[in-house]
A and B are shown apart, each in its own frame.
Chain A
């Protein structure tokens, strides 16, 4: 590459990064959206033929593919229990203690007797939420740039980057759709449901509003009571671990429902749940529940135009 070309390329890169830092889109994305909006290139979509037909049947048309992405470093601390109990790093989340059943107080990690703690990782949860928010803002900006009413078939990619500690990438890709002559919306709707599901949803009297997420992360530091129960011969319910997992699930579901209320929706459909456990140092475990769904509003109380026809396919 010539010196001028190399310098120009570097300029572009710097400008893109500056735009991202402001929360906006990199240059390449801005240019592509502009081309699509001005009708200078054919619309692209990853819709199948069936989805296209279904969307048109519902009164909409595809506009173009849109994407939003961001990579964050999550500043969270793990296993933060000391001789004196939990430090202040819990961020005000839920904490439950499991005192030593033999009456001793915590003598520090590694001692025979210690108090157990289940605590909510607020910083980790907040980190995931912020990463997601940044990616969502960008996909919505692209959709708005196209003059779309909404985005369907959004696929989410969520992963830690190898070799980059505590990193999280959040990417979402979907197809923007619009209804010609429809009213301008403050914010385009988003849905992880595909084109055919979108059409059925609409015919059923619901309209998608936004993608909603729920996240619950609990760290379980077993106390000596729990350790003893784990080594016993009998069949016993392990209270601390049961509680920790249940708490993580409740946090996740509550978070999701709070997001549904924030976008002023009636509920969420198609929620997918993903429970992971990670071994942290020592005997501690992190339990994480991640949920993703589409928030909807009911716009019509009446049922379908016609009840479904039960058929028996011979083949």
Chain B
């Protein structure tokens, strides 16, 4: 049985057998890009340069505070901010060393190592990429995937960096407990509402200011995270984080997606997972 010629398969095997002129120039790269991402980025001229990491291990204690008031814990806000920035800076240095222009698929995480001395490790990890036809100064950083980057760049945008703002807030809850015990009315609690509102708005404002400083046009894919980390439930860090972008084309380029209906058999659950409340038989 004769085999149909297949240009890609034959060229690939020829390359493995040692004959190819299309090899990548420069040092070998590592990357945590998936195949899908690697192929899409190649479409728009970006090649991976290497896996890059930065980390900072911090001992974050509790600062003294007036436990009966709702207030921002400024020292903790500062410390969380600084630790993340250090991890990011270390990663950007690494990216520069491997010749990257930007970092894709960034994961910026806090891992708490419990033990004799609880430690917070801030880790920033991603894949550095570069486009030889693009001139750039500085390293842009984003937690966008290869797919997101492909779409953004095709639409005429350039990512600038990760914009984030934090606010560590203490909620005075002892008085709340006492008040609730004596309460029979259903009303809004104005002071607690405004406390948490303030904390979120502060985090978001700081994020916006960071984006403004980097002369961004906008922020996409932002989210607000709330975590108590290792402090107990009455101390919460509000973190607003997103990717800042700038329009570099003359105007936004539309993509015109094609509508499709899939013939895959996708299972749509008929019943809800949670049982209806009050359905259990009780005498």
- A touches B in complex, CB < 8 A: yes
B260 lies within 8 A of A182 (CB): no
CA distance A298 to B15 in the complex (A): 8
Q: How many residues of B contact A (CB 8 A)?
A: 70
A315 lies within 8 A of B11 (CB): no
Which A29-69 residues have C-beta < 8 A from chain B? 58-60
Q: Mark A259-274, 1 if CB is under 8 A from B, else 0.
A: 0110001111111110
B50 lies within 8 A of A200 (CB): no
A269 lies within 8 A of B35 (CB): yes
Q: Of A235, A283, A307, A314, which one neighbours B116 at CB under 8 angstroms? A: A283
A304 lies within 8 A of B39 (CB): yes
B39 lies within 8 A of A204 (CB): yes
Which B89-125 residues have C-beta < 8 A from chain A? 90, 113, 115-117, 119, 121, 125
Q: Mark B244-282, 1 if CB is under 8 A from A, else 0.
A: 000000000001111111100010000000000000000
Q: Of B53, B90, B259, which one neighbours A311 at CB under 8 angstroms? A: B259
A194 smallest CB distance to B (angstroms): 9
Residues of A within 8 A of B22 (CB): 205, 298-301
Query: Does chain A have a CB within 8 A of B23?
Result: yes
A52 smallest CB distance to B (angstroms): 15
Query: Does chain A have a CB within 8 A of B13?
Result: yes
CA distance A292 to B255 in the complex (A): 36
Which B18-76 residues have C-beta < 8 A from chain A? 20, 22-24, 27-36, 38-40, 42-43, 48, 50-51, 53-61, 63, 75-76
Q: How many A-B residue pairs have CB under 8 A?
A: 213
Query: Does chain B have a CB within 8 A of A233?
Result: yes
Q: Of B24, B39, B116, B121, which one neighbours A200 at CB under 8 angstroms? A: B39
Q: Of A301, A312, A315, which one neighbours B266 at CB under 8 angstroms? A: A315
A203 lies within 8 A of B8 (CB): yes
B58 lies within 8 A of A267 (CB): no
Query: Does chain B have a CB within 8 A of A249?
Result: yes
Q: How many residues of A contact B (CB 8 A)?
A: 76
Query: Does chain B have a CB within 8 A of A236?
Result: yes
A238 lies within 8 A of B119 (CB): yes
CA distance A295 to B24 in the complex (A): 13
CA distance A16 to B53 in the complex (A): 45
Q: Of A214, A270, A299, which one neighbours B33 at CB under 8 angstroms? A: A270
B8 lies within 8 A of A291 (CB): no
Q: Of A277, A283, A315, which one neighbours B261 at CB under 8 angstroms? A: A315
Q: Mark B147-161, 1 if CB is under 8 A from A, else 0.
A: 000010000000000
CA distance A189 to B125 in the complex (A): 29
Q: Of B10, B11, B35, which one neighbours A193 at CB under 8 angstroms? A: B35
Residues of B within 8 A of A206 (CB): 38-39
A266 lies within 8 A of B59 (CB): no
Residues of A within 8 A of B11 (CB): 299-300
B262 lies within 8 A of A315 (CB): yes
CA distance A267 to B47 in the complex (A): 10
B210 smallest CB distance to A (angstroms): 21
B79 lies within 8 A of A242 (CB): no
Q: Of B1, B3, B32, B55, which one neighbours A246 at CB under 8 angstroms? A: B55
A149 smallest CB distance to B (angstroms): 6
A266 lies within 8 A of B28 (CB): yes
Query: Does chain A have a CB within 8 A of B220?
Result: no
Q: Known contacts being A205-B42, A291-B30, is A266 close to B75, with CB within 8 Å?
A: no
CA distance A129 to B119 in the complex (A): 31
Q: Known contacts being A237-B56, A237-B57, is A207 close to B28, with CB within 8 Å?
A: no
Query: Does chain B have a CB within 8 A of A313?
Result: yes
Q: Which residue of A lies closest to B44 (CB)?
A: A303
Residues of A within 8 A of B55 (CB): 242, 245-246, 249
4 A-B pairs closest in CB distance: A59-B9, A59-B6, A204-B39, A267-B29
Beyond the given pairs A179-B10, A260-B30, 10 more chain A to chain B contacts, judged by CB atoms under 8 angstroms and listed by A's residue number, are: A149-B16, A182-B13, A202-B8, A204-B39, A237-B57, A242-B57, A256-B30, A273-B125, A298-B24, A308-B43
Between A and B, 23 residue pairs with Cβ closer than 8 Å are A59-B8, A180-B1, A204-B39, A207-B12, A207-B15, A209-B16, A229-B59, A231-B117, A235-B79, A237-B86, A245-B55, A246-B53, A246-B55, A261-B27, A267-B30, A268-B29, A270-B35, A273-B32, A279-B115, A283-B116, A291-B30, A312-B259, A313-B261
**Chain B: residues with CB nearer than 8 A to chain A?**
1, 3-4, 6, 8-17, 20, 22-24, 27-36, 38-40, 42-43, 48, 50-51, 53-61, 63, 75-76, 78-79, 83, 86, 90, 113, 115-117, 119, 121, 125, 151, 255-262, 266
